[in-house]
Structure 1
Amino acid sequence: MNRLFWRFAALVLLAITLATGAIYITFSLLFGDPLEEMARRQAAGQIFLLEQYIDQAGADEWLPRLNKVREVSAASFELEPLAALLPRLSARQRQQLLDGDIIIDAGGKGFYRRVDRDGNRYIGSEAELIHASHLPINIAQALGMEAIRFALIALFLLLPIGWWTQRHWRGLLSLSRMTDAFGQGDLAARACGHLPSSIAPLAERFNQMADRISELLEARRDLLRSVSHELRTPIARMEFSLELLRDQPGTELPGVQRRLQAMDEDVEELKTLVNELLTLTQLDHPSALPAQLLALAPLLESCTPPPATARYSRTLTADLGEIHGQGRLLARAIHNLLGNAAKYAHAEFALSAFRDGERIYIHVDDDGPGVPASARARVFEPFVRLEREQDHASNGFGLGLAICAKAIQLHGGSVTISDSPLGGARFSIVLESALNTTDRRH
């Protein structure tokens, strides 16, 4: 059964239990203890015998009739002093007994009543009471009947609730699967049309939201692709013009050479930006990236950082094994992290990897300024760069970490930032086993 049903069932059972308790307390305050009333009904035969047979006898016949009843009845009728019972009764019961009413003793399976108030039965009868015991009072049976009634009411309430919640639970699961698929990048995922009427409006809103998000993301991708491709033409013309310019007279002068070198660097920067944009847009279509079985240790050993003044070290355990993924893409993600560490490291940065059960952990540490905790989520967004005063390493476009995060996500893993043992930032990649990665991708 679904969780929605069990929650409804718990609420229904709780409501019935509270209602039963409230009814019992209300009836007790207004009409007396309902358990005593049950016992009174079960002892109705003996009460009738006392009131309609024994009490109907005259003064001389009252005791003989009582003795006759004692001989033939399974119940016991004994005469006891009134004063011995009064201290054990509540004020209400004491007053009822003194008024001549019957006091039920459900636990003792009996009842009490004064013989009379005037002493007309026999001498001293006003100071005695008759105690009937061993009566056919069975409160457990009465409570069992109430429990059966409780169970039947709950059953007939829960059956329609179960049918109703099952339909809605299936609809909610369908909607949940759709949102999970959409959140994992399947922009074509939509809620099906065969849903309960109460969920259908919500599903329609989800579909409308998904359509709008898909349109916005597709427009963003189209813009990035178009801009990237359109930029290649003027960049190529700029490169061609620079080559022609070098052949012109006067370009051998030192000042002109410096200007030409600066322009070459700007063109290379633009080409890098275009390539990064194209890479980022390609990652939005993971189906176009073929996956294969990769030996992780050789892949990490092939990832070399760019030239840097800081010392680089690498520590890989021997049990890294294999993962299922796209080698070039995973190597690009590691290379981006190493490049980032090389830029910000003061004296050293390091790459380490180890396996823990089904998971593989890859750490890139540096001893640089680190990443503030408030900015650790934002740095993985495209075009986000930290603002640092007089930071010579803050150049770039803010796309490297975005590409890294997207690439790791496509491999079913995650990348986070924390404080490094070296004193700077630690970028941690967690990859699941090859089987789990395959399941997530397909």
Structure 2
Amino acid sequence: MNRLFFRFFILVMLSISAAAFIVYFSINRLFGDPLDSIARRQAAAQIFLLEQYIDQAPTDQWLDRLNKVREVSGVRFELVPLGEVRKQLSGVDAAGFERGDVVLDIGRKAFYRRVDLYGERYIGSNEEALVAQDLPLDIGFALSMEAVRYLIVALVLLIPIAVWSRAHWQGLQQLSDVADRFGGGDLAARAHMQRRDSIYPLAERINHMADRIARLLDSQRNLLHSVGHEIRTPIARLEFALELLRDAAENPALDKRINAMEGDLRELKELVTELLGMTRLDAEPHLQRQPFDLSSALAHCRDTLPPAEGMVLEMELQPGLGQYSGDRRLLERAIGNLLRNALKYGTRTVRLSALRGMGALQVVVEDDGPGIPEHERERIFEPFYRLDRSRDRNTGGFGLGLSIASKAVGLHGGTLEAGSSSLGGARFTITLPLA
């Protein structure tokens, strides 16, 4: 937000500077150089002596009057050949000099003018120029006045803009805070503004959008929660009925069919549990942070894994991992989901490692399975998304385990990324901030 208004301030300052240059060049183009006008006003006395005293003298007294001016004036008046002056002038100044105009040279504090165009003052006067040096020119003072003038204009423009921008900045900051809180799970966050505020219409639209999103999310959570609990009742009845049926059954084929039905029920029960877990994460985004020992938490994740025949679980934990302040239950579930996923797809080896350093905690789960194609490494964290080769329910699961793990890590301010493992399969890296 601060960057936005800083850029706006820079844009306003650049616009004012550009306007000052445009004004200067426009006046210069239409009415002549403003600095030349200032210099002419400062040299007005010497120009007046030249035009109203020396030029008005009779032909035989012209030089006498010029010498009298030399005696009383602090400005040096010299007669020089035209060629010397022509070397110093160019462009508009050269053209004005050839017409007989008084041409000012502000840098040298001098002006030039041809004595006359036709030699009327004395013989050969059309080949000479009159140069006045050491003129009392002080353009710096005039430039300071112009700078003060533009500064006043800039302040008069910037102060109202600053007041107007500050009101916008406060309103946008409030909207930004509301967006952060709403995105963090506080669905009751709303922007409270007065009708006279400039961004009140925008705040109203954001509030309406937030209301609709909150209603949709509440409806979705209530639906999932209700459906999940409603399904559990017939599942329990079916389990009870299957137990009764198994006790009464004597046919081996029927017993095999009952086993398959019980497997379907377990799968359905696991799906309901996962759905309710997802709903709970969305409904209760606030963590119960408490310090806990990392090594014991990772060991608990290992000990609660289901048995996997032929699989070896390697643990490489940095000595002295220490404690971490977070929701132990959620993090254990996230790491457990990653480990169970690795056991499903690994062929022989699964590795769990943890490293603490550089202001972050890293927990890595690797396997030696087929791995994950690079173009699908982002999508595997989406709910119900499964790779094409994992369509089989015996290995593919429901596509919720990785999504739950990603959400649990995200609630702690961390990241969960998928990559390639040195074992040849997939590598999942959990990065959690320590601060």
Q: TM-score, normalised by structure 1?
A: 0.91
Deviation at 1:300, TM superposition (A): 0.8
Moved more, 219-228 or 122-131: 122-131
The whole-number CA distance in structure 1 between the counterparts of 2:393 and 2:369 is 12
Instruction: Give the corresponding residue for 2:353.
Output: 352
- Residue deviations 1:321-373 (CA, integer Å, cap 9, x gap): 21112222211111100000110112222111101222101111112222223
- Residue deviations 1:152-173 (CA, integer Å, cap 9, x gap): 1111110000000000001111
Instruction: Give the corresponding residue for 1:439.
Output: none
| Partner SS state of residue 136, structure 2 | coil
| Partner SS state of residue 394, structure 1 | helix
Instruction: Give the corresponding residue for 1:187.
Output: 187
The whole-number CA distance in structure 2 between the counterparts of 1:77 and 1:351 is 97
2:418–2:428: 8 Å Cα contact kept in structure 1?
yes
| Partner SS state of residue 60, structure 1 | helix
Deviation at 1:174, TM superposition (A): 0.6
1:286-325 maps to which residues of 2 (within 5 A)? 286=284, 290-304=288-302, 305-308=305-308, 309-325=310-326
Deviation at 1:296, TM superposition (A): 1.0
Instruction: Give the corresponding residue for 1:139.
Output: 139
After superposition, the Cα gap between the structure-2 partners of 1:5 and 1:196, relative to the gap in structure 1 and judged at 3 Å, is farther
For 2:417, give the aligned amino acid.
T
RMSD in angstroms over aligned alpha carbons?
A: 2.1
After superposition, the Cα gap between the structure-2 partners of 1:361 and 1:98, relative to the gap in structure 1 and judged at 3 Å, is same
- Residue deviations 1:209-257 (CA, integer Å, cap 9, x gap): 1111111111111111111111111111111111211232xx2332122
| Partner SS state of residue 315, structure 1 | strand
Instruction: Give the corresponding residue for 2:113.
Output: 113
After superposition, the Cα gap between the structure-2 partners of 1:188 and 1:61, relative to the gap in structure 1 and judged at 3 Å, is same
| Partner SS state of residue 117, structure 1 | coil
After superposition, the Cα gap between the structure-2 partners of 1:326 and 1:87, relative to the gap in structure 1 and judged at 3 Å, is closer
Deviation at 1:31, TM superposition (A): 3.9
Q: Aligned residue pairs: how many?
A: 432
Deviation at 1:301, TM superposition (A): 1.7
Instruction: Give the corresponding residue for 1:266.
Output: 264
Instruction: Give the corresponding residue for 2:84.
Output: 84
Instruction: Give the corresponding residue for 2:401.
Output: 400
The whole-number CA distance in structure 1 between the counterparts of 2:96 and 2:194 is 67
The whole-number CA distance in structure 1 between the counterparts of 2:26 and 2:287 is 72
After superposition, the Cα gap between the structure-2 partners of 1:101 and 1:65, relative to the gap in structure 1 and judged at 3 Å, is same
The whole-number CA distance in structure 2 between the counterparts of 1:16 and 1:344 is 66
The whole-number CA distance in structure 2 between the counterparts of 1:142 and 1:228 is 83
Deviation at 1:120, TM superposition (A): 3.0
| Partner SS state of residue 284, structure 1 | helix
Moved more, 173-182 or 78-87: 78-87
| Percent of residue pairs bearing the same amino acid type | 53
Instruction: Give the corresponding residue for 1:440.
Output: none
Instruction: Give the corresponding residue for 2:176.
Output: 176
Structure 1: unaligned runs, 5 residues or longer: 437-442
For 1:37, give the aligned amino acid.
S
Establish whether residue 219 from structure 1 lines up as the match of residue 219 from structure 2. yes
Moved more, 112-121 or 87-96: 87-96
After superposition, the Cα gap between the structure-2 partners of 1:257 and 1:323, relative to the gap in structure 1 and judged at 3 Å, is same
1:336-415 maps to which residues of 2 (within 5 A)? 336-388=337-389, 394-415=395-416
| Partner SS state of residue 129, structure 1 | strand
The whole-number CA distance in structure 2 between the counterparts of 1:326 and 1:142 is 71
Instruction: Give the corresponding residue for 1:6.
Output: 6
For 1:176, give the aligned amino acid.
S
Deviation at 1:35, TM superposition (A): 2.5
For 1:291, give the aligned amino acid.
R
After superposition, the Cα gap between the structure-2 partners of 1:288 and 1:190, relative to the gap in structure 1 and judged at 3 Å, is closer
For 1:417, give the aligned amino acid.
A
Instruction: Give the corresponding residue for 1:244.
Output: 244
| Partner SS state of residue 117, structure 2 | coil
| Partner SS state of residue 272, structure 2 | helix
2:184–2:285: 8 Å Cα contact kept in structure 1?
no
Structure 2: unaligned runs, 5 residues or longer: none
The whole-number CA distance in structure 1 between the counterparts of 2:79 and 2:152 is 44
Instruction: Give the corresponding residue for 2:233.
Output: 233
| Partner SS state of residue 78, structure 1 | strand
1:60-71 maps to which residues of 2 (within 5 A)? 60-71=60-71
Deviation at 1:96, TM superposition (A): 2.0
The whole-number CA distance in structure 2 between the counterparts of 1:150 and 1:355 is 59
- Residue deviations 1:363-399 (CA, integer Å, cap 9, x gap): 1111222222333232222222222178675332222
For 1:404, give the aligned amino acid.
A
- Partner of residue 256 from structure 1, selected from 254, 257, 275: 254
